[in-house]
């Protein structure tokens, strides 16, 4: 079953400004998530008869558990990236809060835009694997983490 059959033409025509096919699909996925949050928020606001409930749904985001961090460690007290311990290649992350927002509106400092892949191989047989990008707080320069190959994955394989 192809999920693109359910996407309206107006969403398919949205500009994505990406060079790679996987990034293009990830951007469209983000746009769909934002649209779904808006629809759910609108319906919930209509049921409650309060427009403010719609805004709460859009701004609240969701919590995700079960992501794995590769190439770095995670300091749970300070909620930031740290150098990974020897012989520890993969680390479980705690619950993360994900808030959908358009990337051009996001202005963050001291964060690493970390790709989130489906598998630890970073792609599937079709060459697609990027789900979205998460911004993780760091005290070190981002180039250190890029050279370490830091990423998040949904499965450890």
Measured distance CA(157)–CA(151) in Å, rounded:
15
pLDDT per position as a tens digit, 95-144: 877 777 776 777 788 888 888 888 777 776 565 678 888 888 998 888 88
Q: Fold for 61-157, please state it.
A: Hypothetical upf0131 protein ytfp (3.10.490)
DSSP 88-120: --EEE---EEE----GGG---SSEEEEEEESST
Question: Which pairs count as long-range contacts for 99-104, CB under 8 Å and 24+ apart, including other chains?
Answer: 99/59, 99/60, 99/61, 100/30, 100/33, 100/34, 100/37, 100/58, 100/61, 101/34, 102/30, 102/34, 103/27, 103/30, 103/133
pLDDT per position as a tens digit, 73-94: 998 888 889 998 888 888 888 8
In this structure, is the dihedral angle defined by the CA atoms of residues 88, 82, 106 and 23, taken in order, positive or negative? negative
Please state the pTM of the whole predicted model.
0.59
The kind and range of the H/E element at 62 are: strand 62-64
């Amino acid at each position: 079953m192809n999920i693109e059959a359910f996407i309206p033409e107006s969403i398919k025509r949205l500009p994505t400004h990406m060079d790679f096919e996987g990034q293009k699909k990830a951007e469209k996925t983000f746009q769909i998530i934002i649209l779904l949050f808006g629809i759910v928020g609108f319906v919930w606001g209509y049921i409650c008869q309060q427009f403010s409930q719609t805004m709460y749904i859009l701004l609240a985001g969701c919590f995700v558990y079960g992501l794995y961090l590769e190439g770095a460690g995670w300091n749970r007290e300070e909620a930031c990236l740290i150098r990974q311990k020897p012989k520890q290649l993969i680390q479980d992350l705690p619950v993360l809060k994900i808030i959908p927002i358009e990337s051009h509106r996001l202005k963050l400092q001291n964060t690493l835009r970390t790709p989130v892949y489906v598998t630890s191989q970073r792609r599937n047989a079709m060459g697609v694997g990027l789900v979205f990008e998460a911004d993780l707080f760091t005290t070190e320069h981002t180039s250190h983490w890029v050279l370490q190959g830091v990423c998040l994955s949904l499965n450890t394989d």
